[in-house]
Amino acid sequence: MAKIYYNDDADLSVLSDSTVAIIGYGSQGHAHALNLRDSGVDVVVGLSEGSKSRAKAEAQGLRVATVAEAAAEADIIMILTPDQVQAEIYKNDIEPNLSEGNSLFFAHGFNIRFGYIQAPTGVDVAMVAPKGPGHTVRREFEAGRAVPALVAVEVDASGKALDKALAYAKGLGATRAGVIETTFTEETESDLFGEQAVLCGGTSQLVQYGFEVLTEAGYQPEIAYFEVLHELKLIVDLMIEGGIAKQRWSISDTAEYGDYVSGPRVISPEVKENMKAVLADIQDGTFAKRFMEDQAAGAPEFKKLREKGESHPIEATGRELRKLFAWNKADDDYTEGTAAR
Which residues fall in the annotated binding site?
A: 25-28, 51, 53, 134, 191, 195, 227, 231, 252
Contact pattern from residue 166 through residue 195 relative to Mg ion, giving x for each residue in contact according to CB under 5 A and a dash for the rest: -------------------------x---x
Instruction: Output phi, psi for 36, to 5 deg.
Output: -65, -45
User: Is residue 108 a contact residue for ligand NDP (CB under 6 A)?
Assistant: yes
Distance of closest approach, residue 43 Cβ to ligand NDP, in angstroms: 14
| Bridge pairing between strands 42-46 and 63-65 | parallel
- In the bound complex, which residue of the shown chain has the CB atom lying closest to ligand NDP? 26
Q: Is 97 in the site for ligand NDP (CB under 6 A)?
A: no
Annotated binding site for substrate: 252
Q: Does 318 bind ligand NDP (CB under 6 A)?
A: no
Query: Which residues does 233 contact at the CB level (< 8 Å), separation at least 6?
Result: none
Question: Site for ligand NDP (CB under 6 A): which residue of 5, 10, 21, 27?
Answer: 27
Kindly tell me which of 133 and 313 has the beta carbon lying closer to ligand NDP. Answer: 133
Asked if 300 and 267 count as a contact pair (C-beta separation under 8 A), the reply is no
Which of the choices Mg ion, ligand NDP, none does residue 44 contact, using the CB cut-off of 5 to 8 A by kind?
Answer: none
Q: Which of 108, 135, 230, 312 is catalytic?
A: 108
In whole angstroms, give the CA distance from residue 330 to residue 1.
36
Angle at the Cα of 162 (from 193 to 182), degrees rounded to 5?
A: 20
Which residues ranging from 240 to 279 are in contact with ligand NDP (CB under 6 A)?
none
Q: Is 33 in the site for ligand NDP (CB under 6 A)?
A: no
Nearer of residues 25 and 211 to ligand NDP, judged by Cβ:
25
Q: How far is the CB of 9 from Mg ion (least distance, A)?
A: 25
Q: Is 83 in the site for Mg ion (CB under 5 A)?
A: no
* Dihedral sign, Cα of residue 176, residue 182, residue 187, residue 191: negative
CB 166 within 8 A of CB 9: yes
Between 87 and 157, CB nearer to ligand NDP: 87
**Is 32 among the catalytic positions?**
no
Contact pick of 35, 103, 134, 188 for ligand NDP (by CB under 6 A): 134
Count of residues engaged in binding Mg ion, rule: CB under 5 A: 2
89 contributes a contact to ligand NDP by CB under 6 A: yes
The reply to whether 60 sits near ligand NDP by the rule CB under 6 A is no
Of 106 and 225, the one with the shorter C-beta distance to ligand NDP is: 106
Q: What is the contact surface with Mg ion in residues (CB under 5 A)?
A: 191, 195
Q: What is the contact surface with ligand NDP in residues (CB under 6 A)?
A: 24-29, 47-48, 51-53, 80-83, 85, 89, 107-108, 129-130, 133-134
